[in-house]
Amino acid sequence: MGGNKTLICIFPCVPLRAEPNDRSEQVSQILYGELVIKLEDCDGNWIKVSSLEDSYLGFADPRHFQIHNPDIERQLVFKPTNWNNGVYSHLLPVGSYVSLNDFVELGASPNSLSEAASTFLGTPYHWGGKTQHGIDCSGLVQICARLMGICLKRDAADQVEQGVEVEWEGRSANDLAFFNNNTGSITHVGILVSDDKIIHASGEVRIDGLTQKGIIHSETSGLTHTLSSIRRISPQT
């Protein structure tokens, strides 16, 4: 696959790595039916790609992709669904895309961000993850936004630049709350379930308390994350 081409992922979930080797950190995942731009070939049978949806960069195995046919329309998968191409059978994760010609059960679209996130409750935390087998905080928010027709960036530090800021007194369910570390960098994000509850990926996808100071662990009552800002997003984001 030489030259810059639009590729489509043909595996249920493919690791996107920071460097072109299997030992490198997974920075994100590419789900079935997601599109990427191949930027260059790399040594060791790797390619550098950029996500067509959020411009995220990383390295992947080219055997997990094929050249995308733009005439084939895609539709979003709202629930884990079985897919069979006549040779292999796969369980596709939420947030995947299938062809209009694929006869699979897509599931119903959620009514809100927090409703979408609730289907991930108990999912273990996994750095760079985007599925119900393992997910990180910004991956959870990005996939839930996708299910609502909203395109968000991959990392919390970039997501905080999207939407509009909301004052603490004006917060409501389905707003995004962002949290900073000791140096002020944005390192965590979650979705408000109500004025004083938040769903987020920390150890696992869980619901904890929210105050103006930050997240209060529901079991230990300790402050776990320091609140930086609250933002509201929409399909136009």
Residues noted as catalytic? 137, 188, 200
Among 166, 158, 171, 174, which Cα is nearest to 231's?
166
Among 169, 152, 170, which Cα is nearest to 161's?
152
Which amino acid is it at 172?
S
Helices (H), the chain: 113-118, 137-147, 156-159
Q: How far apart are CA 110 and CA 40, in angstroms?
A: 37
Which amino acid is it at 130?
K
- Please check whether residue 124 is in contact with residue 201, taking contact to mean a CB–CB distance below 8 angstroms: no
Q: How far apart are CA 54 and CA 31, in angstroms?
A: 13
Check residue 110 and report its DSSP letter.
P
Structure tokens at 67: 């050249």
Dump the DSSP string for 77-96: --S-EEEE-SS-EEEEPTT-
